[in-house]
Every structure is written in structure tokens, then in C-alpha cells.
Structure 1
Amino acid sequence: MLVSLHVRNLALIEETEVFFQPGLNILTGETGAGKSVILGSVALALGAKADRDMIRTGAEYALIELTFEGSEEVREALRRMDLPAEDNQIILQRRVMPNRSICRINGETVPIRQMRELAGLLIDIHGQHDSQILLQTKRHLEILDAYAEKELPRVKEAYAACWREHSVILQEIAENELDEQTRKREISLAEFERDEIEEANLQAGEDEQLERDYRRMVNGRKIAETLNLVHGLTGEEEGNGAGELTGRALRELSQALSCDDGLGQLVQLLADVDGLLNDFNRAVSEYLSDLEFDEEQLSETENRLNTVNHLKDKYGSTIEEVLAYAEQKNQELDRLLHQEEWLEQKRRELSENEKMLAQLAQSLTALRTKAAQGFQKDMESALQDMNFLHVEFQVSLTQKDSFGAEGKDEVVFLISTNPGEPVKPLAAIASGGELSRIMLALKTITAKQEKIGTFIFDEIDAGISGKTAWKVSEKLGILGRTHQIICITHLPQIAAMADHHFYIEKNATDHSTATTITELSEADSLKELARLSGAAQLTESVLANAKEMKDLAEKKKQN
């Protein structure tokens, strides 16, 4: 649920904050007051495209902050994104500046992609033109599948995996159906690359050892000079080396031990130092003896290292990758040398795959056919409640000749809204006002499948009036029982159904204009209903009519 909206320096809004409530939240106001800007700010915070012209004149930035109460599913999504999800509150913030914008979720800066991903779990914004998706027949299958929950997702997932395998096999066959000349050329290249690697007889980790050996040989003279100096400084040959001086100190201290038993610990410590120095000096001597090498050994190491690096440049960044490439070439050679047998095996795999695809596609068709029956019935019932004089709704489910990513089914929604007229595709007959009602009917019957808690409707009342407006308000009231609804409207019939009524107003001062939003009291809500009804003056009879409209709406909600 959307708990609050805080907006600063956006279009005509200097700064405003509104706290939304559960149920049906209605927003009204004069034309041009900024109603769409309020809800547009929600879309902007959720990742919609930002324009520098949105920033209020004279301001350096615009700020939009949304606070949600999140479900466990939303908190799990936050954890997958490695974002804070300790409590039930989720704060989305977007700061829009002339050349960039910054998005934050619970205080953590995130890419706009993550903001949009999370938005899909929090809120569904239905704008004035979103009903047009009903005219896109390719979306009808998606809508039907969303309605048909239960078994369908499992079968769709199995079909999708089988379809991916089908696509891979087809691609492999297409890439390997080579003519004889091309096949021979591919064989020659694969043999050359495989032989070049195998002849090198590479060993895992060899490159690292070669690098160490080569570096040691190239710097051998400098290393030898350093070690000879160190050997002298720590040994006994020079007469004043650390080894000789430590030994002398140990002898002197040992003689003093007979005079004072308390010197025993010091003698032992110095003896340990003397032993370590002797061990170190012998290790240096051994290293120096192993350091001897000739120019031929350096040349061999350099040549081997060049060979290894050449193969790594061509076939992989490590020896393991180079060896894996050689194995890949062996497999490729086997396939090329036995091309017909390999292709025949792939064709058998394709045949088995298509049998499985056919079975899964048939299961999808059966599930969709069953779902279509319930969908037709529910849509007709919902549309009849929308004050259509006559309505007949059908789901046309036909089969394509070939498999597709979603199966073999094609779905088209058909409707007739006039007695005696045959059903036709939605795109052929539905007007703008009818589309809005059809979309609202769709939302009411699919709400139970929706995991999103908040729906926003921007002027769902376009193209309707009178009794039809009452029917639309009833449907919004029904949705408001299970979901949070935020709706912009110009119609008093819809505003009367509000659980919470907000008024958006534009005020002009000496030097600027600002939009504000406030929640109306019961008395002020009645005045706003009277204004929406077209009353020139707020007389007692006009207010009484507004009160009657509000009471009627309350009775409908109770029923």
C-alpha cells in the first residue's frame, strides 16, 4: 500500500505531502490544477522518463519520495537486490536534476532498472491511454494466461524450457549442415588448431612456473650479488658478520651464567638467535648453488614461455582454457568427420523434442480453453454491471500452424455491445469510453490474481456519464475492498464513492503559482461533490443533492 507521497519542486508543486489510506482514494480538482502532475510524480519516482522541464522554475532539482507498506514478496525482492529490508516500510526516492537523476531505495542508491523492477511489485498505474493495450491482440493471450492461474504457470514453464531446447537444436542443425567443400575446410582448420595445442604438450600451471624461472634467470646476476652480500653479513667468514658476533656474544654470556643462574633465559634466547642465523646462512648458500645456469637454459625457458603465451593469445587466457579449446576441437572434428551420423542424431532429438512440444502445447490449449469459458462468463457479468445495454463477450482461441514461444494458441477478444450485432474484435468496435469500462471490468475480475496492492486510475471516467458513471463507481468501490485504489475523476458519481477524498488546487501569489493537495472533511467533500455536479452556487438544495448522492454511495458500499 502507498502510505505517503512527498513532492518538492516538480512542475507547479513547490512542496506538498499527502498521506493515502486503504480503500478508495479519490482526487478531484479544477481542470489544470495539477491532478495529473500529482500522479505523474508517482510514475516518475517509479522510473518513468524524466525531463528537465519538470523541475519547478528557479529550483535546482525536483524530489519525489514514496513510502510503501511492503508485502513479504516485496521484502524478498529487496533481499535479492541486496537492499535493506528489515521492516515493513519501503521508501523510494528520486531526485531529478537538469542533467541526471539519482534513485534510492531505503536510502541505498540504485540504478533506475532496479527502481522499475521493484515498482512492478508495488503499484499498477493505469493512465488515460492504457486501455489501448486491449486493442493489441498479441496482449490478449497474456491477459487470458494471467486469469488462468493454478496449473497453467507450471505447464507454461515446462513448455518454455522445451521450446528453448527446440530452438537450440534447430540452430545446431542449421549451423552444421555444411556442403562438402566447407566441411573439408572446417576439418582442416580444426585439425591444425588441435595439433598445434597437442604438440606443445602443455601442463597445468606450467606458465606460472616458467614466468618465475624466466624472471629469476634474467635477474640472476643482481640476485647473486645481493645474496653474496647477505651471506657475508650474516655469516662468519668476514670476521665481523652477524653469525660470528652472535656466537661470540653467546660464549661470553654462557661464561657469566656460572655467576648468576638468572641469566639462563637470556642465554637460551641468544642461542635460538644464533641457531636461526646459522640456518638462514646455510639456506642462502644453498640458494646460491642452485642459482647457477647457462645461456642455453635461459634460451630454452624463453622459447618455451613464448610458445605457451602464443597459444594463450590464440586459444584462451589460461592453460586450462587452451586445453579445453583443444578438447572442443576434438569434438568438432568428430562431428565434422561423421557429419551425416551427427545430423541424423540431432534430427532424432528434434523429433522427440517436437513430440514433447506438441503434448505440452495441447495441455496449454486445454487449460486455456477451460480458462476462456470462465473468463467469458466473468467478463460478461462485469460488463453488464457497467451499464452496457447489451453485451456479449467471447474469447476466440485458434491454433497456429507452427509452434511459437507461447504454444500454438492465438487469442482474440470479441465483443458485441448492440443487440443483433455479431461479435467482432475489440479493435473494430470499441470506443474510448467503452474501452475504459472494459479495462475496469478486467481489473475487477483479475484483482484476486494480482499480487500488487495499489492501483492508480488516471481519469478512468473518460467518455462516460450518468448511470454509467454510477456503475463505474461501484466497480471502483468493489476493487477498494481488497486493494488500495487511487483515482482521479471529474464525475461526482465516482467521487461520492470515495473512502477518502482529496482536493487538488492551484493557487497564484504575486510572483508564482503553486499546486497543493489536501484531504477533505465530510462537509468539504459535499461542497466538492456539488461543484462537480455543475452547480453555479452552493445553495441548500445543491448541498442536499450532494448529500443524497453521498448517502446513495454509502448504501451501495454497504450492499
Structure 2
Amino acid sequence: MLIQLHVKNLALIEEIEMEFGPGLNILTGETGAGKSILLGSMQLILGGKISRDMIRENAPYALVELLFEVKDEKARSILKSLDIELEEDQILLSRKIMDGRSICKINGATSTVGQMKAAASCLLDIHGQHEHQSLLYGDKQLEILDVYGREKIAPVKEKVKKAYEVYRKCRLDLEAFDMNEEQRNREKAFMEFEIREIEKAKLIPGEDEELIRQYKKLANGKKILEALQFVHTSAGYDGEGAGELLGKGLRELGRVMEFDEELSGFYRTLEEIEGLLNDFNRDVSSYLDQMSFDDVSFYEVERRLDIINNLKSKYGQSIQDILAYKESREKKLETINRFDEKFQEAKEKLKKAEKNLDVLSNELSKIRKEYSKDLREKIIKGLKDLNFLDVNFEIHFEEKKNCTENGKDNIEYRISTNPGESLKPLGKIVSGGELSRIMLAIKSILADRDQIETLIFDEIDTGISGRTAQKVSEKMAVIGRHHQVLCITHLPQIAAMADTHFEIEKHVKGTETITEIHPLYGEDSIRELARLLGGAQITAAVAENAREMKELAQVHKNTRLK
């Protein structure tokens, strides 16, 4: 359940905190007061796109925080799979927006947008105008059916997806045989050339790294020699070399050590330094004796590197890649050499994969059709509850020409809203208001199966009034018995059903326009209902109607919903 929403510096909102309750939470307010901003803030937690324009003018950042209490075991399991630990059964999701970028946090720990979206998606579902329109498309209609029958449909659907991947690979493998004899011979000759070229190089994994090291050494041999000769002279025992000077120092200390015990420590330290210098000079001398910077060695290394780099430019970025490429060409060459046999094998594999896909797709289609009957009956009942009195509805199936990873079903929701009227696709018969009611009926059916506790409805009241509005309000109240519902509305019938009522207001503060939200209780809630009923001029009659509407809504909830 969504416990608290905190928004700061988002568009017209300076800073608000809202504490939501269980059941039906209603938000009302004048047009343009900022209801859409509130909905947008929640969309941000669900991974919505950000822009600099979202940040309140002259503010450094915008912040949205949602605090949830999570008791549902399925949601807890999903969060655990995302490596998210609850703190006292709670989770805090936050997103801070700054000049074209954002920082997401879950319980104070930085996360990705994707991880936060995955967490939020199992906790709340936003149902807005865009989703109404998506109901016109077959893919969405099929998705709804699959969600409704998830328990049996999902496992078979996953099998179909895997079978389709196998089928697709087999089809691509068979397409590779689509060449005539002349093309095969040309391809064969080219592959044999590539294999010979790689084999001739006799590559050894890692040798290019050693060759590069040798090349650097040989290419800079003169510089190395000059530097080491200078070092050897400077550190040696000839003339003014460091070794000679250290020796003199030791002899001088040796003559005076007996006069002060502390000098013996200096002597030992200098002796150790001389020993280290002796070892160093010996190593340098050995390196100089073994040095070989002849042109022949340099040429051989350079030539070998040229061969390897040429192969890299053709076959891969490393020796391992080149050898892997050679292995793949050898396999393909074997296929060409045994063309007829391999071609027959590929055809048999495709035939087998196609048959398996067809069997699984038929199984999936059968299960979908079984669930579609039950879903149809529930949708009809839900629509009648929403004042579609003479409605008829069906889920029409057609078989696709070719199977996909989603099976072979194309479905279409068809509806008739008047007696004697033939069933037609949704897009050809329903208005925007009717479409929103159909989606509400479907949402109420799926709500128990979704197990998402918090549902948010926006523009659910588009194009409705009177008795239909009352029916919608009753349906919202029913959903609110089993879920936490947040609903943005301008209809008094829906607002009257509120378990918790909020008012969104826009007003001028100094030179700025800000949006504020506050809960309404008792008479304040009735006054807002009166405004929704009668507009700016609230008469005594309108106020009395508002009071009666609130009382009747309470009676309905106390009797019909018990």
C-alpha cells in the first residue's frame, strides 16, 4: 500500500507531502490545478522520461519519493528477486532530477531506473487515457486475456517462445543452403583460401603480446644502450662513479668509528648501500653483455607482427578470434563438402521444429479459448454493472498465417451496446467514455489476479454523467474494498465514495504560482462536493444535495459492500 508521497520542486509544486489511506483515495480540484503533475510524479518512479522543464523555475532539482508498506507475499518475493530488502515491511523509492539527468534510490541506496521501475511495477499500476486507447489494439487485447489466464497460459506461452526460437534458428540454417553449385564452389574455394592463410601463419595464442614487447625493445635498442652505459658509468667504480665514491666514504668512516659508537650505525647503512649498488652494477653489466640489437632480429619480429596484424584486419581482433573464425569456416566447409547430407539434415530439423511449434501453439490457443469464455462472461457482467444495460460482448479468434513467439492467435474484442445491433470491433462502435468504462470493467476483473495492491485511475470519468457516473463510482468502491485506489476525478458521484478525500489547489504566492494539496474532512469534503455539483455559485440547495450524496454513498458502502 502507498503510505506517503513526497514531491518537491516539480513544475508548480513547491513541496507537498500526502499520506494515503486504504480503500478509495479521491483527488479533486479545479482544471489546471496540477492533478496531472501529481500523476506525472508517480510516472517518474515507474521509469518515466525526464526533462529539465519538469524542475520548478529557479530550483536546483526536483524530487519525488514514494513510501510503500509491502505485506503481499508475491510482491515481497519479486522485490527479493531484485535484491531489495524491506525495512520494517516498507520500501522507499525516490528519484531526484537535475538538469537532464536523474538519481534513483531504493531505501537510500543508489539504483538504476530499470531496477526502480521493476520494483514500482509490482507495487502500483497507473491507469490513464493512453491505456484506454491501447484497448483498441489486438496485441493489448491478447495481453489482457493472457494476464487473466496467467496461471495456465504463462507456462505454455514460455514453451512456445522457446520453440519459436528453435524454429527461427532452424529456418536461418536452412536458408544458408540457398545457393547453386557455382555459388557453392566459389564459397568453398574462398573458405579454403582463408583456412590455408590462417594455418600457414601457425599462430600461437599470446605470441602477439610477446612480439610487441620484443619490437619495442629492438626498435629502441640504441636508446636503451646509451642509457644503460651512462648508468653503468655513473654507478661504477671508475673515476667519479658512485661505487668508487661509496668505497672512499666507507674507508673514511672506518678510520673514525672507534671515536663514537653512533658512527658504527652509519657505517653499516653505507655498507648495505654499497652491497645493493654492487648487485645493481652486476645486473646492468649482465644485461649489456646479453644485449643483441641486430637488424636481422628486428626484421624477423617486424615481419611476424605484420603477418599477425594482416590476419587481425581480416578475421578478428585477437589471435583467439582468428582461430575461432578458422574453426567456424572449417565447420561451414564441412557442410558444403557434405551439402546434400547436411541440407537434408537441416530440412528435417526445421520440419521437426515447425511441428513442435505448431503443437505447442495449438495447446496455447486451446487454453486461451477456454479462458476467453470465462473472461467474456465476467466482462459482460462488469459492463452491465457500469450501465451498459443491453450489452453483448465476444472475444473473436483468428489464426495467424505464420506462428510467432506469441503463438498463432489474433484476437479481437467485439461489442454491441444496443439490442439487435451486430457485434463490431471496439474501435468502430464505442466512444471515449464507453472505452474508459470497458477498461474499468476489465481492470476490476484483473485486479484480483494482478495482486498489485495500489491502483491509480486518471480520467476514468471521461464523457460520463448521471446514472452512469453513479455506476462507475459504485464499481470504484467495490475495487476499493480489495485494493488501495487513487482516483483523480471531477465527478461528485465518484468523489462522494471517497474513504479519503484530497483537494488540489493552485494559487499565487508572491510572484509565483504554486500547487498545494490537503486532505478534506467533514464539512470541507461536502463543500468540495457542492463545488463539483454547482460550480462557483454554491446555493443552499446545492450544499444540501452534496450532503445527501455523501450520506447515500456512505450508506451504500456500509450495506452493499459489506
Instruction: Tell me the TM-score normalized by structure 2.
Output: 0.85
Gaps of 5+ in 1: none
> What is the aligned partner in structure 2 of residue 482 from structure 1?
482
Residue aligned with 1:374, SS: helix
Matched, 1:177 2:169: no
Residue aligned with 2:129, SS: coil
> In 2, are the aligned partners of 1:474 and 1:556 still within 8 Å (CA)?
no
> Which of these residues, 500, 525, 542, is aligned with residue 545 of structure 2?
542
Name which of structure 1's ranges 35-44 and 183-192 shifts more when overlaid on structure 2.
35-44
Following the alignment from structure 1 to structure 2, what is the Cα–Cα distance between the partners of residues 221 and 85? 67
Following the alignment from structure 1 to structure 2, what is the Cα–Cα distance between the partners of residues 266 and 512? 79
Matched, 1:394 2:397: no
- In the TM superposition, residue 282 of structure 1 has moved relative to its aligned partner by 3.7
Q: Deviations over 1:383-433 (max 9, x none)?
A: 232232123332223323431221112222233333344433323333333
Residue aligned with 1:418, SS: coil
- In the TM superposition, residue 45 of structure 1 has moved relative to its aligned partner by 5.7
Structure 1 residues 283 and 409: alpha-carbon distance in aligned structure 2, compared to 1, 3 A threshold? same
Structure 1 residues 498 and 306: alpha-carbon distance in aligned structure 2, compared to 1, 3 A threshold? same
Q: Deviations over 1:122-142 (max 9, x none)?
A: 432222353122221232111
> What is the aligned partner in structure 2 of residue 411 from structure 1?
411
Name which of structure 1's ranges 357-366 and 396-405 shifts more when overlaid on structure 2.
396-405
> What is the aligned partner in structure 2 of residue 337 from structure 1?
337
> What is the aligned partner in structure 1 of residue 163 from structure 2?
162
> In 2, are the aligned partners of 1:530 and 1:538 still within 8 Å (CA)?
no
> In 2, are the aligned partners of 1:28 and 1:504 still within 8 Å (CA)?
yes
- In the TM superposition, residue 262 of structure 1 has moved relative to its aligned partner by 12
> In 2, are the aligned partners of 1:461 and 1:491 still within 8 Å (CA)?
yes
Name which of structure 1's ranges 65-74 and 216-225 shifts more when overlaid on structure 2.
65-74
> What is the aligned partner in structure 1 of residue 449 from structure 2?
449
- In the TM superposition, residue 528 of structure 1 has moved relative to its aligned partner by 2.2
Structure 1 residues 120 and 288: alpha-carbon distance in aligned structure 2, compared to 1, 3 A threshold? same
Following the alignment from structure 2 to structure 1, what is the Cα–Cα distance between the partners of residues 346 and 287? 60
Residue aligned with 2:438, SS: helix
Which amino acid in 2 is paired with 1:199? K
- In the TM superposition, residue 558 of structure 1 has moved relative to its aligned partner by 4.3
Residue aligned with 1:297, SS: helix
> What is the aligned partner in structure 1 of residue 64 from structure 2?
65
> What is the aligned partner in structure 2 of residue 92 from structure 1?
94
Following the alignment from structure 1 to structure 2, what is the Cα–Cα distance between the partners of residues 513 and 557? 43
Following the alignment from structure 2 to structure 1, what is the Cα–Cα distance between the partners of residues 371 and 327? 51
> What is the aligned partner in structure 1 of residue 381 from structure 2?
381
Following the alignment from structure 1 to structure 2, what is the Cα–Cα distance between the partners of residues 219 and 77? 61
> In 1, are the aligned partners of 2:170 and 2:353 still within 8 Å (CA)?
no
> What is the aligned partner in structure 1 of residue 556 from structure 2?
553
Structure 1 residues 547 and 248: alpha-carbon distance in aligned structure 2, compared to 1, 3 A threshold? closer
Which amino acid in 1 is paired with 2:331? Q
Residue aligned with 1:176, SS: coil
Which amino acid in 2 is paired with 1:389? L
Which amino acid in 2 is paired with 1:69? F
Residue aligned with 2:328, SS: helix
Following the alignment from structure 2 to structure 1, what is the Cα–Cα distance between the partners of residues 332 and 462? 64
Name which of structure 1's ranges 542-551 and 185-194 shifts more when overlaid on structure 2.
542-551
Following the alignment from structure 1 to structure 2, what is the Cα–Cα distance between the partners of residues 396 and 387? 23
Q: Deviations over 1:430-484 (max 9, x none)?
A: 3333222211111111112325332221121223333332322222122223322
Which amino acid in 1 is paired with 2:95? Q
Name which of structure 1's ranges 241-250 and 284-293 shifts more when overlaid on structure 2.
241-250
> In 1, are the aligned partners of 2:3 and 2:69 still within 8 Å (CA)?
no
Percent identical across equivalent pairs? 43
Name which of structure 1's ranges 487-496 and 538-547 shifts more when overlaid on structure 2.
538-547
Which amino acid in 1 is paired with 2:92? I
Following the alignment from structure 2 to structure 1, what is the Cα–Cα distance between the partners of residues 540 and 120? 42
- In the TM superposition, residue 46 of structure 1 has moved relative to its aligned partner by 4.2
- The equivalences for 1:259-298 within 5 A come to 277-298=277-298
- The equivalences for 1:355-366 within 5 A come to 355-366=355-366
Q: Deviations over 1:311-344 (max 9, x none)?
A: 2222222111122222222222222333332222
Structure 1 residues 282 and 101: alpha-carbon distance in aligned structure 2, compared to 1, 3 A threshold? closer
Residue aligned with 1:151, SS: helix
> What is the aligned partner in structure 2 of residue 191 from structure 1?
192
Alignment RMSD (CA, Å): 3.8
Structure 1 residues 367 and 109: alpha-carbon distance in aligned structure 2, compared to 1, 3 A threshold? same
Residue aligned with 1:501, SS: strand
Which amino acid in 1 is paired with 2:551? E
Residue aligned with 1:283, SS: helix
> In 1, are the aligned partners of 2:458 and 2:489 still within 8 Å (CA)?
yes
Following the alignment from structure 1 to structure 2, what is the Cα–Cα distance between the partners of residues 275 and 326? 55
> In 1, are the aligned partners of 2:8 and 2:62 still within 8 Å (CA)?
yes
Following the alignment from structure 1 to structure 2, what is the Cα–Cα distance between the partners of residues 442 and 139? 12
- In the TM superposition, residue 76 of structure 1 has moved relative to its aligned partner by 8.1
Instruction: Tell me the TM-score normalized by structure 1.
Output: 0.85
Which amino acid in 1 is paired with 2:558? K
Name which of structure 1's ranges 29-38 and 356-365 shifts more when overlaid on structure 2.
29-38
Q: Deviations over 1:54-88 (max 9, x none)?
A: 666x6456735132316587788888889997673
Which amino acid in 1 is paired with 2:556? A
> What is the aligned partner in structure 1 of residue 213 from structure 2?
212
- The equivalences for 1:25-44 within 5 A come to 25-44=25-44
Structure 1 residues 327 and 52: alpha-carbon distance in aligned structure 2, compared to 1, 3 A threshold? closer
- In the TM superposition, residue 196 of structure 1 has moved relative to its aligned partner by 1.5
> What is the aligned partner in structure 2 of residue 428 from structure 1?
428
- In the TM superposition, residue 521 of structure 1 has moved relative to its aligned partner by 0.9
